Amino acid sequence: MSLREVLPKFDIELVDLRESVCCGDPIKSVNNFTAVYLGARVLALASLTGLDDLLVPCNRCHFTISEANDTIKNAKTGEKIKTLLREEGLEYNPNIKIWHTIDLLHDLVGLKKIKKAVTKPLKGLKVASHEGCQIIRYSDLGRVDDAENPKKLDELIIALGAKTVDYAEKLDCCGSALMYSHPDSALSLAGSKLKAVQNLSVDGLVVSCPDCQLMFDARQKDAGTTVGAKLNLPVVYYTQLLGLALGIEEKKLGLYLNQSPADQVITKISA
């Protein structure tokens, strides 16, 4: 929702795909070939729009589609995939550039343009950032930020006038992938990180991946119960913060939909 609000402010128009389909991520564990097919299928659907750029806001989808794109370079697998796509009347397009929210805003729009567009600087706000795992690893595949010391999300936050903190648990995983097999362990990972961030006395945690958001925001209460901590930490999307700094109404940014106390962030910046 917030993504749809903020991108037009930078002259980026979003076009929805013909259909919404799975990228293949959960199927990687079941049958990698099917996962590659689904990833390639998203690229083929993107090609139907006639555009060359695909925005994938979810870290896991971004990784799965990128790895599928890489696997297709293998002639034998690639041919099989392309033949199957044709059975669905689809055509694989190798020229589609796969973007994530972070590199789209940081590298394409640029920090300068973002700084210039800010009308309500988020002065006095101090947050921790979480870029997530699959968007920064593994580098050989070509990822959007440094694998061990990601900085782009922090730079994007600082561009809005807010402050970020460096913390030991920054690279810790949200645990989401374990929800399929070991939900308690998944919640324990999310809870441990939330507990650590809460102890930093920050105003909130900023994420950009919907899967991480689901773990840290929607499942925050369960995560707190699992690790035996009282959690009350606002978790917001970067694009929600960006929207606030651009002066977009909070309702349009979906801040009332966050399950964590996102209003604390709003109170802080309007103080």
Partner 1 sequence: MSMAKPNLEAREKILAKLRGRELVNCFQCIKCTSGCTALKLLELKPHEIIKLVNLGFVDELPSSDIIWTCVTCLKCVQRCPQKASPYHVIMALRNIAVEKEAKVPEGYLKAVSQILETGLIETPKKIVTRKMETVDRDCLKLPKINPPKENFQAVFTKTMEEK
Point out which residues bind partner 1 (CB under 8 A). Answer: 1, 16, 18-22, 25-34, 37-38, 60, 63, 71, 74, 80, 84-85, 87-89, 133-134, 137-139, 147-148, 171-173, 175, 177-182, 185-186, 188-189, 254, 256-259, 261, 263
* Contact between 102 and 246 (Cβ < 8 Å): no
* Contact between 40 and 86 (Cβ < 8 Å): no
Tokens found for residue 79: 């041919």
Q: How far apart are the first and last CA of the chain?
A: 25
Distance of closest approach, residue 57 Cβ to partner 1, in angstroms: 14
Tokens found for residue 242: 């960006």
Return the number of the residue (21 or 108) whose C-beta is nearest partner 1.
21
Amino acid at residue number 64: T
DSSP 4-64: HHHGGGGT------SS----SGGGGGT-HHHHHHHHHHHHHHHHHTT-SEEE--SHHHHHH
Whole-number Cα distances in Å, 22 to 69, 86, 90, 120, 200: 15, 18, 16, 37, 36
Return the number of the residue (10 or 33) whose C-beta is nearest partner 1.
33
Distance of closest approach, residue 74 Cβ to partner 1, in angstroms: 6
Return the number of the residue (28 or 106) whose C-beta is nearest partner 1.
28
Return the number of the residue (83 or 119) whose C-beta is nearest partner 1.
83
Return the number of the residue (11 or 19) whose C-beta is nearest partner 1.
19
In eight-state DSSP terms, residue 255 is G
**Phi and psi at residue 263, to the nearest 5°:** -65, -25
Distance of closest approach, residue 113 Cβ to partner 1, in angstroms: 27
Distance of closest approach, residue 68 Cβ to partner 1, in angstroms: 12
Return the number of the residue (50 or 89) whose C-beta is nearest partner 1.
89
The Cα–Cα gap between 46 and 42 comes to 6
Of 75, 37, 39, 36, give the one whose Cα is nearest residue 54.
39
Distance of closest approach, residue 135 Cβ to partner 1, in angstroms: 10
Distance of closest approach, residue 160 Cβ to partner 1, in angstroms: 24
The Cα–Cα gap between 233 and 262 comes to 8
Return the number of the residue (29 or 199) whose C-beta is nearest partner 1.
29
Distance of closest approach, residue 101 Cβ to partner 1, in angstroms: 17
